[in-house]
Structure 1
Amino acid sequence: MAQGKKVVAIDIGGTKIASALVTLEEGAKPVVEFYDKIPTEAKKGGQQVLANAIKMARRVIELAGEDVCGIGVSSGGVIDPRTGDVTYANDMMPGWGGTHLGAELTAATGLPARVLNDVHAHALGEARWGAGRDASSCLVVAVGTGIGGAFVERGSIMLGAHNEAGHIGHVSCTDAAGVPCQCGATGHLETIACGPGIIDRYLELGGDPKDEDGNDVDGAVIDRRAAAGEKAAIDAEARSGHAIGEVLGSLVNMLDPDCIILSGSVAQCGPAWHDAMAAGWSEAVMPPCAKTPIVSGNLGGDAPLVGAAENIVKSAYVEFE
């Protein structure tokens, strides 16, 4: 990368579509410009989501005012990065599965497009340009409205046989035993440890469903209440943190990464969550791996955009013959 490469980056999530122009240059921090976001309108179906994504790509192309080398896409759902197709999406994005996303963007703009799963893109950004830049391998975990992850080895994402590797939210854990998951299975991490899982648990424990202004309680309010010593808030966060720690310990036993990169809104919770995570970790992790560092992501919301852009410049994965 002797010269900076300019890429149109699109991040398609269940609630919003973000877009930006990302410039990548060896030895320099990625530059993210012209950022904007619009509602995904997922409930209107896959064709509406696609139309919104095309609109956002065209916006950046027009603003760039110069040649760009392609469109890098981060998208919710199971993605085949070789074809750019969305092979599966759950009910949060009805009709999104089966979308030929990469081909449709290329047809609409004339630019080459490559597509990654959103958490894979997030992980690639952090591994190559963020908190994992000096690590030979890293396990990246994002804990927010949902929970996802990826294992990155020497700058390449482990995809798996069905492009599903890294679905950390759908790993079983003791705290979720018997709890139904929206995927149809039971006992999965995401159901209890994501942001909505904390809220549901708080309300089950008798927490006040409203904040000081009469709005529905959210994770930030629960975290403040936990910091103030409210037992229901502490217990709701502790279940999430303990479950995350247990799963991270188990995965580190298997994958043995240089580091864990932890990001997402839930990871910003206070001591109640982090103390419980440390307890779950210590119960599960094997002694040789116990000192594996857990670090915070440092690209923030730019991580999936940077990762999607990076996938245009250098493929995110290695093909084995």
Structure 2
Amino acid sequence: MDTKTIVSVDIGGTKIACGLVTLGGETPVVESVVKVPTDAQLGGEHVLATVIEQVKAAIERCDGDPVGVGISSAGVVNPRNGDITYANELMPGWGGTALGAEVTAECGLPCRVLNDVHAHALGEARHGGGRDASSCLVVAVGTGIGGAFVEHGHIMLGAHDEAGHIGHVCCPAAAGIPCSCGASAHLEPIAAGPGIIREYIRLGGDELCADGTPMHGAEIDARAAAGDEAAIGAEHRAGLALGEVLGSMCNMLDPACVILSGSVAQCGRNWSNAMTEGFKSQAMPPVATTPIVGGELGGDAPLIGAAENFVSSGYAEC
């Protein structure tokens, strides 16, 4: 197989990463990655201009001629034309951006765009934790919770291109708790990082770390390992809720494996034991032994997935 180099971009709410991904060898090669602030609060036009600037700079850094541009972007994406069809308040003015068409017009290269979690999942499914599996459910747990189901290397998009929003499924432990999407009783507000911090403080934990900085997840995890009861309680609630939802999703989708990535998935034994407990409580016997493994590609996953999407159209209509 001939190697191909793609300019690959990952657009998030806080940063934009842009580099070169070469596919076709034994493993993908990711190099020359530059990260800049998204400055999302400045609006969609500013973000678009930053993306175009970074793509042009990456083309200049490339020794040869890249074949195109693959983009992983926050928001709901129409992967057939590269438009951003919806974005929440974290990316004001990003919804409605004709991202793929604008990048092609300004940079002179064909472009394909995929949602960031879908791209992350495609990278992990083909080259990371799911590379030997026929199907996988990929769940990223950090500031928010996103997911995607990949079967035989193809992403299930759904009728509205937003399949995989596992953070926005009903969760009994979240009853009455409002979600950023406008609904309530969803998984994300209690199982993502901010929810763990809120619960820790509610249970009597400190609002600030010893150095005066705001409390964060890594500190709570360290305190849980040291026996802090509030930290243990906050992590247990989050892990248990996530595990229950994962068990339910495996009952429905029956993936060959579940891949967990993101900062919360790096938590220690207290969180992981609770997650396993929740999973076993809900998974039906045929899927109770589904392996739950960690992601292997880290921050390179969406860049690799965006490049893969460019060369192989790794998605399905439903």
> How far 1:66 sits from its partner (Å)?
1.4
1:45-64 aligned at under 5 Å gives the runs 45-64=43-62
1:68-87 aligned at under 5 Å gives the runs 68-87=66-85
Q: Which residue in the other structure is 1:8 paired with?
A: 7
Aligned residue type for 1:23 = T
How many Å separate the matches in 2 of 1:281 and 1:101?
A: 39
1:102-117 aligned at under 5 Å gives the runs 102-117=100-115
The secondary structure found in structure 2 opposite 1:306 is helix
How many Å separate the matches in 2 of 1:205 and 1:52?
A: 42
How many Å separate the matches in 2 of 1:95 and 1:189?
A: 26
Q: Which residue in the other structure is 2:168 paired with?
A: 170
Aligned equivalent of 1:193, options 187, 191, 199? 191
How many Å separate the matches in 1 of 2:177 and 2:243?
A: 18
What TM-score do you get using the length of structure 1 for normalisation?
A: 0.97
1:1-321 aligned at under 5 Å gives the runs 2-26=1-25, 28-319=26-317
How many Å separate the matches in 1 of 2:7 and 2:236?
A: 40
> How far 1:177 sits from its partner (Å)?
1.0
How many Å separate the matches in 2 of 1:138 and 1:318?
A: 15
How many Å separate the matches in 2 of 1:110 and 1:284?
A: 51
Aligned residue type for 2:9 = I
Aligned residue type for 2:133 = A
The secondary structure found in structure 1 opposite 2:315 is coil
The secondary structure found in structure 1 opposite 2:316 is coil
> How far 1:319 sits from its partner (Å)?
5.0
Contact 2:208 2:214 in 1 (8 A): yes
Task: Give structure 2 stretches of 5+ with no counterpart.
Answer: none
The secondary structure found in structure 2 opposite 1:250 is helix
Contact 2:72 2:302 in 1 (8 A): yes
Misfit runs of 4+, over 4 Å: none
The secondary structure found in structure 1 opposite 2:9 is strand
> How far 1:186 sits from its partner (Å)?
0.6
Contact 2:158 2:317 in 1 (8 A): no
> How far 1:55 sits from its partner (Å)?
1.3
Contact 2:247 2:279 in 1 (8 A): yes
How many Å separate the matches in 2 of 1:147 and 1:298?
A: 18
Task: Give structure 1 stretches of 5+ with no counterpart.
Answer: none
Deviations along 1:95-134, one digit per CA (max 9) or x if unpaired, are 1000001001101100000000000000000011111111
Count of residue correspondences: 318
What RMSD, in angstroms, separates the aligned Cα atoms of the two structures? 0.9
Aligned residue type for 1:68 = P
How many Å separate the matches in 1 of 2:28 and 2:98?
A: 28
> How far 1:318 sits from its partner (Å)?
3.4
Aligned residue type for 1:29 = T
How many Å separate the matches in 1 of 2:88 and 2:317?
A: 27
What TM-score do you get using the length of structure 2 for normalisation?
A: 0.98
Deviations along 1:216-244, one digit per CA (max 9) or x if unpaired, are 11111111111110011111111110111
> How far 1:312 sits from its partner (Å)?
1.0
The secondary structure found in structure 2 opposite 1:224 is helix
How many Å separate the matches in 2 of 1:114 and 1:123?
A: 16
How many Å separate the matches in 2 of 1:49 and 1:222?
A: 33
Deviations along 1:64-102, one digit per CA (max 9) or x if unpaired, are 031101000000000000010000001111110000010
> How far 1:206 sits from its partner (Å)?
1.6
> How far 1:175 sits from its partner (Å)?
1.1
